[in-house]
Amino acid sequence: MNIIGIIPARMASTRFPGKPLAEICGIPMIGHVYFRSKMNGSLKDVYIATCDREIENYCLKNNIKVIMTKNTHERASDRAAEAMLKIEKLTGKKIDIVVMIQGDEPMFDPGMIDLALEPMLKDAAILITNLMSELKSKEEQDDVNTVKVVVDKDNCALYFSREPIPSSMKAKEDVARYKQVPIIPFRRDFLITFNELQPRPLEITESVDMLRLLEHGYKVKMVLSEFDTYSVDTPADLKRVEALMKNDTLLLQYSVKK
């Protein structure tokens, strides 16, 4: 199968402007995500999708494939859909699955891509999957930058929120609490379908792409990951992640690259 990775990135983050090029251990964050993605054997290729010349220039200087997109996209998935069609035109090859990898996940392990792909490769009826992991602290649970998710008995998403779910007031201690981990494989045609769907009120309210699918009646298969990762949404997150990555074994494999 022709499976590719697309890393959507833009400089105009509302919570942390310019964060794709913010350095962690001497390498811009977007570089960490790209180099780790390239370590995965299931991906035929990896591209960064952006509307910003600063990111394009970094990519060109470091032999990273980059696709320029419109600057009007509000959702990463919309940017990934445009990039996918441009990549098909550029390569002359139809893509089977796009793995959307958020550019603010510099700690992610390449094995997480295979974990997310596994249900789709086993069952052709699954159109999309999304990783999730257990919340480790009350701080994460209360953090509005951490997207929480609740699932049904088959691990299909019931709802995503930036608020604590299930209720922190009523839930018992043994109720599992999960956060979304933004490694999201789409089947090619379903990513186009997603791009054609109109945003709905819940997606707009929560600012979570996946709610568009739930509001239109589609299922999102969630896959539990035990990898320990943290996204970067604020300058404080950047400092914490840099401290955690200083002794990272994967970092040693690409740290000579800038």
CATH number at residue 16: 3.90.550.10
pLDDT at 257: 52
Q: Is residue 234 part of a domain?
A: no
Q: Which domain holds residue 66?
A: 3-229+241-254
Span 88-97, mean pLDDT? 97
- Label the pairing between strands 45-50 and 3-9: parallel
- Read off the pLDDT of residues 59-87 as tens digits, 9 standing for 90 and up: 999 999 999 999 988 888 999 999 999 99
Is residue 95 one of the residues assigned to a domain? yes
Instruction: State residue 241 phi and psi, 5-degree precision.
Output: -65, -40
Distance CA 134, CA 152 (A): 15
pLDDT at 251 over 60: yes
Using a pLDDT cut of 70, give the percent of the chain over it: 97
113 within some domain: yes
**Least confident span in 18-22, 115-119, 134-138, 191-195:** 134-138
> Which pairs from 69-72 meet CB under 8 Å and 24+ separation?
71/10
Which strands, in side-by-side order, build the sheet including 183-187? 66-68, 45-50, 3-9, 97-101, 183-187
Q: Is residue 235 part of a domain?
A: no
Name the more confident of 216 and 138.
216
Asked if residue 218 is part of any domain, the answer here is yes
> E strand or H helix at 181, and its extent?
strand 178-181
Residue 132: which H helix or E strand, with range? strand 129-134
Q: Which range, of 8-17, 140-149, 205-214, 223-232, averages the lowest pLDDT?
A: 8-17
Residue 236 placed within a domain: no
Average of per-residue pLDDT across 53-57: 97
Q: Does residue 171 surpass a pLDDT of 90?
A: no
In order of 167, 192, 198, the CA distances from 195 in angstroms are: 32, 5, 8
Looking at the 3D structure of the chain, how many domains does it have?
Answer: 1
Within a domain: 225:
yes
Mean pLDDT, residues 247-257 taken together: 82
Q: pLDDT above 90 covers what percent of the chain?
A: 81
Q: CA 75, 225, 4 angle in degrees (round to 5)?
A: 50
Which pLDDT belongs to residue 172?
62
pLDDT band at residue 4 under the 50/70/90 scheme: very high
- Asked if residues 209 and 81 have their Cβ atoms less than 8 Å apart, the reply is no
Residues 6 or more apart whose CB falls under 8 angstroms from that of 155 comprise: 221, 222, 223, 224
